[in-house]
């Protein structure tokens, strides 16, 4: 385009939607007026011309100059990489606005960490507008940023329109309450992009549980949901459980630290009876007693998909622990691999039942606390599993298997390194030396 045609172009036509919330700061002449107003009033006469032809780190530095913020060198240096971590950088609303400007047309960054930067609702609005244009970001963490309800509404608008390509979104610790739960739930009803959502450490109440439950009943995409450290309590969990009954997508659910009690446990048990997708459920620290555990057992006796159940730090005793293991034994279709009741003091009767169950279900791992009276007893001696496994037709028991795994995975990486088990062959002598020895 030549200069004459550029002059004839209407400046307003050059402004895209993204330029509105990501507009640059005022000129020096109006700086005092902008300081007195809100940060969202930052503007330049023509942001399209201000950034015309500028890309990458150069674009970011120019945006920082106009925002009057100090550039973050880590961001400028990593704009060509898929992962950028800017957690705890004190960016503030203006700092994140400069970053948003730089990412509008970026095609390489796929995972962005912005936790604990005090970006406020204004920063969330900038991020949301950037995501409407950006086609590469898949994972975003904006936890602990004081977004409040206004920030939640900005993110909800983005999700409602399916206007971004995000599949992982972390919104933990942002002072979200019932109003935020309402707009986010409405947005997630029809969202088909987000698969992993973290809403932990917020202020969601019993009403929020009802709203999120209604969303869960119809959402067809969300696979991982973290609602730990909220206030769903009994009534909220009852409503949430109703939604979980009809859900056909969620695989991992964290409801720990929500004070759901036995009534909430009952609701989840009813959901487990019909839900055939969920594989991981965390209800730790929820004031659930043996009564609630027995209700959960009713669901476990017929459920054919759940693999992991975390119930640590509830009010269970060995009675509840025994019921949980017994429910797995009663269900021939059970897929259970782990039950975590790590604070429960068990006894010899429980251990015998567990050993019996594990004979037919060797994949089951029950994590329990201390064994009653085990201190005064001499530990049962087991032969070295490395020797046992070398013999044919001999089965390893659970204790031997655990010891074997520890030996093979000493660094607890989840990867077995066999290199140190290879036989050390004696070093062969060079051919010339062997010939000399034969001649002698």
Task: Transcribe 34-86 into DSSP letters.
Answer: HHHS-GGG---S-HHHHTTT--HHHHHHHHHHHHT----HHHHHTTTSSEEE-
Helix (H) / strand (E) element for 358: namely helix 348-360
Q: Measured between alpha carbons, how far is 71 from 64 in angstroms, rounded to an integer?
A: 6
Distances (CA, A) of 269 to 136, 265, 309, 402: 40, 6, 12, 31
Structure tokens that stand for 244 in this block: 């979980």
Distances (CA, A) of 249 to 100, 191, 223, 276: 32, 13, 6, 9
> DSSP secondary structure string, 212-267?
HHHHHHH-SS--EEE--SS--HHHHHHHHHHHHHH-SS--EEE--SS--HHHHHHH
What is the Cα gyration radius of the chain?
Answer: 29
In a domain, 328, yes or no: no
In a domain, 407, yes or no: yes
In a domain, 410, yes or no: yes
Rounded to the nearest 5 percent, the helix, strand and coil shares of the chain are 45, 10, 45
- Is residue 295 within 8 Å of residue 323, measured between CB atoms? no
Q: In a 3-state reduction of DSSP, which class is residue 310?
A: strand
**Rounded (10°) angle between helices 148-160 and 120-133:** 10
- At 197 the pLDDT is 98
pLDDT averaged over 10-residue windows placed end to end, the chain, 440 residues: 44 41 42 39 45 79 96 95 98 98 96 98 98 97 98 98 97 97 97 98 97 96 98 96 96 98 98 98 98 98 98 98 98 97 97 96 96 60 56 61 66 56 49 53
- At 29 the pLDDT is 38
Structure tokens that stand for 268 in this block: 């989840």
Residue of 221, 261, 266 lying closest to 242 (CA atoms) = 266
In a domain, 405, yes or no: yes
Q: Is the dihedral of CA 321, 327, 332, 333 positive or negative?
A: negative
In DSSP terms, which residues pair with 367 in a beta bridge?
340
List CB contacts of 64: < 8 A, sequence separation 6 or more. 70, 71, 95, 98
Number of helices (H) and strands (E), helices first, in the chain? 19, 11
List CB contacts of 103: < 8 A, sequence separation 6 or more. 109, 112, 130, 134, 137
Question: In the Cβ-directed half-sphere of 374, how many Cα atoms lie within 13 Å?
Answer: 12
Distances (CA, A) of 89 to 77, 116, 124, 199: 15, 8, 16, 22
- Is residue 166 within 8 Å of residue 139, measured between CB atoms? yes
Q: Measured between alpha carbons, how far is 158 from 168 in angstroms, rounded to an integer?
A: 14
**Phi first, then psi: what are they for 434, rounded to 5°?**
-65, -40
Q: Measured between alpha carbons, how far is 328 from 341 in angstroms, rounded to an integer?
A: 15
- At 372 the pLDDT is 87
In DSSP terms, which residues pair with 315 in a beta bridge?
289
In a domain, 96, yes or no: no
Question: In the Cβ-directed half-sphere of 90, how many Cα atoms lie within 13 Å?
Answer: 3
Helix (H) / strand (E) element for 365: namely strand 365-368
In a domain, 391, yes or no: yes
- At 55 the pLDDT is 80
In DSSP terms, which residues pair with 309 in a beta bridge?
281, 339
- The domain in which residue 402 lies consists of 385-414
**Phi first, then psi: what are they for 83, rounded to 5°?**
-115, 125
In a domain, 255, yes or no: no
Q: How many CB atoms lie within 10 A of CB 43?
A: 16
- At 393 the pLDDT is 56
In a domain, 390, yes or no: yes
Question: How many domains, in total, are found in the chain?
Answer: 1
Distances (CA, A) of 40 to 23, 61, 93, 238: 9, 20, 9, 41
The phi-psi region of residue 257 (left if phi > 0; otherwise alpha if psi is between -120 and 50; otherwise beta) is left
- At 332 the pLDDT is 96
């Amino acid at each position: 385009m030549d200069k004459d045609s550029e002059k004839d172009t209407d400046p307003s036509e050059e402004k895209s939607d993204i330029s509105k919330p990501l507009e640059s700061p005022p000129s020096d002449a109006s700086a005092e007026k902008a300081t007195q107003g809100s940060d969202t009033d930052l503007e330049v006469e023509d942001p399209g011309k201000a950034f015309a032809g500028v890309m990458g780190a150069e674009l970011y530095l120019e945006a920082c100059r106009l925002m009057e913020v100090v550039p973050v060198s880590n961001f400028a240096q990593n704009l060509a990489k898929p992962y950028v971590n800017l957690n705890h950088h004190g960016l503030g609303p203006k700092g994140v606005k400069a970053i948003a400007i730089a990412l509008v047309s970026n095609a390489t960054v796929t995972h962005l960490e912005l936790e604990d930067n005090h970006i406020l609702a204004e920063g969330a609005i900038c991020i949301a507008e950037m995501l409407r244009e950006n086609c590469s970001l898949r994972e975003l963490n904006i936890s602990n940023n004081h977004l409040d309800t206004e920030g939640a509404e900005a993110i909800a608008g983005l999700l409602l329109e399916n206007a971004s390509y995000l599949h992982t979104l972390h919104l933990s610790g942002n002072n979200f309450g019932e109003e935020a739960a309402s707009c986010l739930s409405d947005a997630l009803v029809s969202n088909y992009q987000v698969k992993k959502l973290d809403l932990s450490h917020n202020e969601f109440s019993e009403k929020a549980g009802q709203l999120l439950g209604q969303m869960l009943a119809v959402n067809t995409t969300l696979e991982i949901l973290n609602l730990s450290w909220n206030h769903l309590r009994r009534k909220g969990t009852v409503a949430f459980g109703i939604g979980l009954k009809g859900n056909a997508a969620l695989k991992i659910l964290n409801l720990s630290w929500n004070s759901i009690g036995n009534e909430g446990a009952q609701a989840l048990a009813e959901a487990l009876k019909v839900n055939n997708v969920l594989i991981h459920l965390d209800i730790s620290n929820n004031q659930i007693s043996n009564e609630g555990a027995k209700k959960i057992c009713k669901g476990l006796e017929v459920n054919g998909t759940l693999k992991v159940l975390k119930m640590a730090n509830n009010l269970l005793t060995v009675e509840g622990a025994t019921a949980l293991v017994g429910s797995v034994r009663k269900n021939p279709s059970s897929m259970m691999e782990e039950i975590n009741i790590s604070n429960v003091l068990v006894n010899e009767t429980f251990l015998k039942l567990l050993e019996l169950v594990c004979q037919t279900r060797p994949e089951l791992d029950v994590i329990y606390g201390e064994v009653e009276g085990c201190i005064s007893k001499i530990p049962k001696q087991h032969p070295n599993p490395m020797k046992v496994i070398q013999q044919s037709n001999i089965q390893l028991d659970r204790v031997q298997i655990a010891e074997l795994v520890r030996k093979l995975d000493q660094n607890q990486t989840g990867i077995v390194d066999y290199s140190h088990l290879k036989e050390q062959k004696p070093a062969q002598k060079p051919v010339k030396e062997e010939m000399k020895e034969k001649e002698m």
